[in-house]
Chains A and B, each alone.
Chain A
Amino acid sequence: MELLNWLAEPMLYGFMTRALIVTIAAALVCSVLSCWLILMGWSLMGDAVSHAVLPGVALAYIAGVPFSFGAFVFGAGAVALIGVIRSTTNLKSDTVIGVVFTTLFAVGLAIISKTPSQTDLSHILFGNVLGVTDGEFVQVLVLGVITLAAVLFKRRDLTLFAFDRTHAHALGLNTHWLSTLLLGLLALTVVVALQAVGIILVVAMLITPGATAFLLTRRFPVMLTAAAGISVLTAVVGIYASYYWDASTGASVVLAQSAVFTLAYVFAPRRGIIARARVRHAHRPAAAGAVQ
């Protein structure tokens, strides 16, 4: 009974319920996308897109248009710019990504420092899920549903593309289009998650759940489900932590995800360090016996 009260109390406040929904939506969309991102080796791309949206968000506030519009334009623009520079130089991807996103991030900081403080920089950088407006609430939910639906509808093609793009090509699939789709969905996901955890920590939600789930299973559908489950659980933990301990919501969600990752790293059935040590241990006497 006490536990129920403990759980119910924050939800008596409308802004807390709304924060919980936004955080769950953001974490869920991020976690689903993270499964493909980590298999594609695109973690840094996630970092890049999330930082590159800063000028878009700042300009959107100044112009009075929805922040998600500005963020998406700059996220997608960063991806396109990275693609162009990569294909016209011999520079390695991570170099190009690094140059582009730090430049855009700096542009964002410069814009904000030059404009009268209509927007609080710390809200953009670290999220402001407790202060979500009605308009932002609707934006996040609509974009979240669209992104999730698109990813799940195309999930088998995206997995094929991530695993073996030569075969995707051999089947006559348009691999450029699949790559663009995944990057576009990445930009949308970042937009969805900005409110909840802010620009700086979005990348954690885009990597950690997928990485954790990868340690737990060797089946992609299971990985997807595990990542989604972990993200919802940690979103709830984050919201309660911010209510009862007054901790930052974004930081709490990310720390909860890191904790689950650590548990998986230690205890995962096959890939965890304990399981690995056990396998090594079980084989040692047998090998010694064979020598004798």
Chain B
Amino acid sequence: MRKPAPAQHRRPAREAGAAAPALNIASLTVRYADILALDRVSLGLEQGNICALVGVNGSGKSTLFKAIMGLVSAGTGTVRIFGAGSKAARKNNLLTYVPQSEDVDWTFPVSVHDVVMMGRYGRLGPTRRPHSADREAVDHALEQVGLTSLASRQIGELSGGQRKRAFVARGIAQQARLMLLDEPFAGVDKGSEATLTSLLQRLRADGKTILISTHDLAGIPRFCDEAVLLHRSVLAHGDPAEVLTTENLARAFGEGATSGAA
């Protein structure tokens, strides 16, 4: 079974009662009509780790994120986030999610700042009127992703990579404890990717737990504490070096893929 993650010493001391794992999935099965997308997936994530989610196209990565978010209904199995169910976790701002592709209207009359402020809504009163602490949190989040100078632009006036960073900033402003990032590096250049990975490492230092799907296998050991190899069910989970072996990758990607990657 999986070894304790190597990054445990980085975890800040937590208040009592917060010992529940960041994520605990037990025997989760999800179907779309007759397509079995996830088959008895069980997965636990310790708090304060960055975990890479790896698998071929169609292996169920996005479905796993959606199941954690309660966006697709789990056929069977349970999902617990810091010990809470998906809905309670969402209501308590424990979870944030940056989807693979944003299903939003890019001509919508909102600025980058407005979008990041939407991360605060769960912490505001019924009319969502922001206070100065919220504006500070938004400014801080924008600064962390390097979008301060573009804050007043309309959201559609950003490039693809900048848009991704804006949505990550929204998650930072939300101050969620578990961040789900579905392929944030897709279509992002090396410079932006480096900015994003160092940002993720800083967020981990703040005690965040991050589950991130990616196809950049070579980059994983640099910033991830653990990796999960998914192919409808979990093939391997643990230290990246032990999970991303040629043998495992051959099982997940097929023989051709690994010889190509090697």
Contact = CB atoms under 8 A, between A and B. Distances in A.
Nearest to B156: A218
Contact-size category for B: 20 to 34
A49 B111 CA distance: 32
Interface residues of A, number: 25
A157 B109 contact: no
B118 interface: yes
B93 to A, nearest CB: 7
B118 A160 contact: yes
Interface string A220-234: 101100000000000
A139 interface: no
Nearest to A156: B128
Interface in A145-177: 153-157, 159-160, 162-164, 166-167, 169-173
B34 interface: no
B114 A220 contact: yes
Given A156-B121, A172-B122, A166 B109 contact: no
Of A153, A157, A159, A218, the most chain B CB neighbours within 10 A belong to: A218
Interface stretch (B49-57, B99-107, B227-235): B99-107
Of B90, B97, B99, B108, the most chain A CB neighbours within 10 A belong to: B108
Contacts of B192: none
Interface string A168-189: 0111110000000000000000
A172 B90 contact: yes
Given A167-B118, A167-B170, A159 B110 contact: yes
Main secondary structure of the interface of A (DSSP, over half): helix
B97 A223 contact: no
A39 interface: yes
B24 interface: no
Interface string B74-108: 00000000000001001111011101001111001
Interface string A63-96: 0000000000000000000000000000000000
B71 interface: yes
B114 A169 contact: no
Contact of A163 (B69, B93, B110): B110
A284 interface: no
A166 B87 contact: no
Interface string B98-138: 01001111001111001100100110001111000000000
Contact of A220 (B70, B110, B170): B110
A171 B90 contact: yes
A219 interface: yes
A217 interface: yes
Nearest to B124: A156
Given A170-B69, A170-B90, A172-B122, A214 B109 contact: yes
B62 interface: no
B71 A169 contact: yes
A172 B102 contact: no
Q: Which 9 A-B pairs have CB atoms at the shortest separation, nearest pair first?
A: A172-B91, A172-B90, A156-B128, A171-B122, A218-B154, A164-B104, A220-B109, A218-B109, A163-B108
Given A164-B115, A172-B93, 11 more contacts: A39-B105, A153-B126, A156-B128, A157-B128, A170-B90, A171-B122, A171-B174, A172-B90, A218-B109, A220-B109, A222-B109
Interface of B: 69-71, 87, 90-93, 95-97, 99, 102-105, 108-111, 114-115, 118, 121-122, 126-129, 154, 170, 174
19 contacts: A156-B121, A156-B129, A157-B121, A157-B128, A160-B128, A163-B104, A163-B105, A163-B118, A164-B102, A164-B104, A166-B69, A167-B170, A169-B70, A169-B71, A170-B95, A172-B90, A172-B91, A219-B110, A220-B109
